[in-house]
């Protein structure tokens, strides 16, 4: 099987390459791997070695012919390419995230690809209550105040239209919770806290008092478990949407245990949103208030379909995944061969 991965040097892409390299080790010659990235990693080092690399931007019309050439002879495309920063340039983000997805779909069709698996997100969903589990039938209309959520919803619309127009192509999408691994500590810290704040974090973050809104409830999953879900979708030629998250649901109480906090001081979600917006406008940190709005409104997903259909089970708990990335942020962990995951 010939598999192509866009965004292959990033957080999920690196984990997927690790997984596929493991599949190859167990069954040599069973897979051929093509990788697409805007910036090439060190292709002489694992997990990037032994892969046919193409350096191009999926969002650029000028790179469309290169993209089609890269997908020639490919059986399945896993589309992971996505840009989070700079979130002050929404035109650039839309070009990479939404136009880029459309370009990948068109190029895959032109190249004769028969399976497309796309990285969606819990952020694609419309606002939902936190006191119930929602399955894949919940509307993926996004949340207006979050550019990330809006772009994911537009991506989902593009996938729906493509799947309806191309019934001969298997189209699947994963909707994972927050994807964490220690190797992404430096990248995640840089994207969401900026270049300075992560350097102030201790290698082992322990706080006596956790100040957090009661409604800050979310789901997380380890990057290696997400990679296994992608592999299972490709291997089974599955189609449709799949919620992907580990247990437990991360509540303020779970966060307190991870951080060793003895007490929780609840604050209003509106206060956190206002602080995020103010500090973002003052350029103190790079996370705009839309991320808080999305966190407040994102559903708690039911992952039963992935378990039933794919036989998928996470190996790492959500709490351990959160703890691992926090350690990685404190130590500046990364993957030296990757320009995206480079250590601090």
- Going from N- to C-terminal start, the domains of the chain cover 2-177+220-245+299-313
Strand 178-180 with 220-222, pairing: parallel
Cβ(180)–Cβ(321) under 8 Å? Answer: yes
The predicted structure's pLDDT at residue 277: 95
Tell me the fold of 2-177+220-245+299-313: Rossmann fold (3.40.50)
pLDDT of 147: 97
Supply the pTM of this predicted model: 0.95
pLDDT tens digits in sequence order for the chain, 344 residues long: 999 999 999 999 999 999 999 999 999 999 999 999 999 999 999 999 999 999 999 999 999 999 999 999 999 999 999 999 998 999 999 999 999 999 999 999 999 999 999 999 999 999 999 999 999 999 999 999 999 999 999 999 999 999 999 999 999 999 999 999 999 999 998 888 887 777 767 777 788 999 999 999 999 999 999 999 999 999 999 999 999 999 999 999 999 999 999 999 999 999 999 999 999 999 999 999 999 999 999 999 999 999 999 999 999 999 999 999 999 988 888 887 888 888 88
Residues with Cβ within 8 Å of residue 290, at least 6 apart in sequence: 143, 145, 146, 147, 148, 149
What pLDDT is recorded for position 27?
Answer: 92
Report pLDDT for 200.
Answer: 67
pLDDT confidence of residue 126 = 98
- For the chain, give the number of residues: 344
CB 243 within 8 A of CB 136: yes
Quick one: pLDDT at residue 199?
Answer: 73
Listed in sequence order, the residues at least 6 apart from 305 whose beta carbon sits closer than 8 Å to its beta carbon are 135, 136, 242, 243
Return d(Cα 325, Cα 332) in angstroms, integer. Answer: 10
Q: Smallest Cα–Cα separation from 298: which of 324, 325, 322, 269?
A: 269
């Amino acid at each position: 099987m010939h598999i192509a991965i866009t965004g292959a040097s990033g957080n999920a892409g690196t984990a997927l390459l690790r997984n596929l390299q493991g599949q190859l080790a167990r069954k040599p010659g069973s897979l051929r791997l093509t990788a697409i990235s805007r910036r090439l990693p060190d292709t002489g080092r694992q997990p990037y070695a032994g892969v046919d690399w193409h350096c191009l931007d999926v969002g650029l019309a000028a790179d469309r012919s290169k993209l089609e050439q890269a997908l020639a002879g490919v059986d399945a495309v896993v589309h992971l390419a996505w840009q989070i920063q700079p979130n002050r340039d929404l035109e650039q983000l839309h070009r990479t995230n939404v136009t880029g997805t459309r370009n990948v779909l068109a190029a895959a069709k032109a190249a004769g690809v028969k399976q497309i698996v796309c990285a969606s997100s819990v952020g694609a969903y419309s606002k939902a209550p936190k006191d119930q589990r929602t399955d894949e039938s919940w509307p993926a209309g996004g949340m207006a105040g979050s550019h990330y959520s809006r772009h994911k919803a537009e991506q989902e619309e593009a996938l729906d239209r493509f799947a309806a127009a191309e019934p001969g192509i298997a189209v699947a999408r994963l909707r994972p919770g927050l994807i964490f691994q220690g190797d992404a500590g430096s990248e995640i810290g840089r994207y969401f806290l900026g270049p300075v704040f992560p350097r102030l974090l201790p290698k082992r973050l322990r706080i006596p008092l956790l100040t957090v809104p009661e409604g800050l409830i979310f789901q997380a999953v380890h990057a290696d478990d997400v990679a296994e879900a992608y592999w299972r979708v490709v291997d089974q030629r599955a189609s449709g949407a799949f919620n992907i998250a580990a247990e437990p649901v991360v509540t303020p109480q779970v966060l307190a245990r991870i951080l060793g906090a003895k007490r929780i001081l609840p604050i209003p979600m509106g206060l956190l949103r206002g602080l995020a917006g103010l500090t973002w406008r003052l350029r103190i940190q790079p996370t705009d208030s839309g991320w808080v709005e999305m966190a407040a409104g994102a559903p708690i997903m039911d992952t039963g379909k992935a378990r039933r259909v794919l036989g998928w089970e996470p190996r790492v708990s959500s709490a351990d995944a959160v703890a691992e990335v926090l350690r990685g942020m404190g130590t500046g962990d990364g993957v030296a061969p990757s320009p995206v995951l480079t250590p601090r």
